């Protein structure tokens, strides 16, 4: 799919369409174009991007790869940014990343995404309703897209905080293995968050320190704003990762504590019954010359001795606070 949005500064008119608007844009040098590519044949897409926009083939190949780390690369007439975006929203905390490639030129913005992108769809709707976005130039659109994308990361992270608080209470009140499994899943997802956001921070740090000509100096504030939000999201991901790790360790510690208590009770029971089993074993032997067997009160004496031993042991354990 190729969708295009053409902006005419003279009339502030916005036209949307498909590949046909590319010719109009080339014929009218005062217009600004946003072309969005998704789900196209790679060879056809490569031909259009090279022939119409003069993009570097190696950058296009990077944009078309299913997996590639975020990067920033400047060329003579355009700058290439490759970012990780979030896929469609899900009910859980898990998320899927998609490749979002941005080619920013003096008169054009080309976006290419490997799957459905709610961030690009939102920016597309905003640009249709607000001509000021297109009037600001391709660099304004690119930075707005980056801001929308990082806001989605932030919103997803902030959704996790109340759940972590609930899990902390559940670990103490009703510990169960499902909690441990959920926390392990959060750790895995947060690790992905951290990796993506570290790459993004480096991209926008480079963009802030050495902006290419296609990103005007007037956009420095927007670059700084996006970088700060990326940094905040990265810190939140790190914080929640550590919280999840602490909760896992706390769950394991409580489980170990409960197991120790159970083992302590079993040890005490064993300690009490060892001497009783010893006495029962002695008097359970069938020797004829055992004087106690002839005694009328031998049975009651033995029970009394066993009871005394049990009572003394219980008192000793209580005094030592083992019970």
Residue showing tokens 């001497």: 275
Q: Do domains 2-254 and 255-319 have the same CATH topology?
A: no
Distance CA 5, CA 20 (A): 11
Tell me the residue length of the chain: 323
If one counts every other C-beta atom within 10 angstroms of the C-beta of residue 269, the result is 10
State whether CATH 3.30.460.20 applies to domain 2-254.
yes
* Nearest in space to 98 (alpha carbons), one of 78, 79, 120: 120
Q: How confident is the model at residue 10, as a pLDDT?
A: 86
Which residues, including other chains, have CB under 8 Å from residue 246's CB and lie 6 or more apart? none
DSSP 22-55: HHHHHH-TT-EEEEEE-S--HHHHHHHHHHHH--
Q: How confident is the model at residue 87, as a pLDDT?
A: 84
Phi and psi, residue 105, nearest 5° = -115, -175
Q: How confident is the model at residue 79, as a pLDDT?
A: 93
Listed by start position, the domains of the chain span 2-254, 255-319
Q: How confident is the model at residue 89, as a pLDDT?
A: 79
Tokens of 155: 């919103």
Q: How confident is the model at residue 4, as a pLDDT?
A: 93
CB 85 within 8 A of CB 92: no
Instruction: Going residue by residue through the chain, which has 323 residues, state the pLDDT in tens, using 9 for 90 and above.
Output: 899 999 998 888 999 988 889 999 998 989 999 999 988 888 998 999 999 899 999 999 999 988 889 999 999 889 999 999 888 877 777 778 899 999 999 899 999 998 888 999 999 999 998 888 888 899 999 999 999 999 999 988 988 889 999 998 888 888 888 888 989 999 998 998 899 999 999 999 999 888 888 888 888 899 999 999 999 999 999 999 999 999 998 888 888 878 888 888 888 888 888 888 888 888 778 777 777 777 778 788 888 888 888 888 888 888 877 77
CATH, range 255-319: 1.20.58.340
Q: pTM of this prediction?
A: 0.80
Distance CA 111, CA 143 (A): 12
Q: How confident is the model at residue 246, as a pLDDT?
A: 92
């Amino acid at each position: 799919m190729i969708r295009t949005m053409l902006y005419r500064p003279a009339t502030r008119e916005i036209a949307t369409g498909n590949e046909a608007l590319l010719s109009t844009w080339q014929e009218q040098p005062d217009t600004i174009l946003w072309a969005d590519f998704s789900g196209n044949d790679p060879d056809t897409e490569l031909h259009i991007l090279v022939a119409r926009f003069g993009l570097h083939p190696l950058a296009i190949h990077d944009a078309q790869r299913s997996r590639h780390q975020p990067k920033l690369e400047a060329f003579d007439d355009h700058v290439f940014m490759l970012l990780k975006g979030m896929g469609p929203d899900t009910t859980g905390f898990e998320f899927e990343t998609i490749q979002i490639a941005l080619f920013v030129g003096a008169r054009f913005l080309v976006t290419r995404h490997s799957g459905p992108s709610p961030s690009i769809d939102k920016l597309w709707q905003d640009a249709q309703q607000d001509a000021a976005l297109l009037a600001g130039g391709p660099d304004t659109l690119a930075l707005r897209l980056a801001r929308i994308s990082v806001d989605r990361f932030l919103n997803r992270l902030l959704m996790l905080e109340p759940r972590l608080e609930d899990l902390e209470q559940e670990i103490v009140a009703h510990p169960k293995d499902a909690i441990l499994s959920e926390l392990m899943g959060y750790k895995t997802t947060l690790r992905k968050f951290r990796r993506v956001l570290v790459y993004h921070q480096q991209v926008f740090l480079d963009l802030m320190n050495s902006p290419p000509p296609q990103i005007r100096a007037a956009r420095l504030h927007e670059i700084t704003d996006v970088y700060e939000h990326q940094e905040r999201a990265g810190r939140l991901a790190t914080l929640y990762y550590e919280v999840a790790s602490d909760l896992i360790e706390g769950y394991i510690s409580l489980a170990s504590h409960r197991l120790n208590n159970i083992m302590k009770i079993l040890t005490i029971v064993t300690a009490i019954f060892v001497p009783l089993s010893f006495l029962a074993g002695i008097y359970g032997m069938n020797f004829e010359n055992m004087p106690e067997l002839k005694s009328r009160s031998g049975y009651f004496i033995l029970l009394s001795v066993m009871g005394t031993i049990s009572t003394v042991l219980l008192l000793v354990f209580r005094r030592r606070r083992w019970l």
